[in-house]
Amino acid sequence: MGDAPGRLHEAAARANGGKPVDWAALARDLGYADQAHLTWDLTATIGVPPSHYAAAPLGGRCRYRG
């Protein structure tokens, strides 16, 4: 799977960027086979789906378990 922690950090940084996230494009940019794999990785690691993570207040984003 490559550098999963690095990819997840990049995904989190983009989600925290304050702009809407194109999850399919982000998955492609990070080398995932598809959006579902990125979603699975993020959900398994931080405990919530990417869209919930991106919508959470900054204080709620400290659940990263990588």
Confidence of residue 47 (pLDDT cuts 50, 70, 90): confident
Taking the domains of the chain in order of start, what are their residue ranges?
Answer: 4-61
- Cα gap 33→55, rounded to integer Å: 24
CA–CA dist 27, 44 (Å, integer): 15
Burial track 11-42 (b if 16+ CB lie within 10 A, e otherwise)? bbebbeeeeebebeebbeebebeebeebbebb
Percent of the chain with pLDDT over 70: 80
Please say whether the beta carbons of 6 and 48 come within 8 A: no
- Give the CATH number of domain 4-61: 1.10.10.60
**What's the pTM?**
0.74
- Give tens-digit pLDDT for 8-21: 889 988 888 778 89
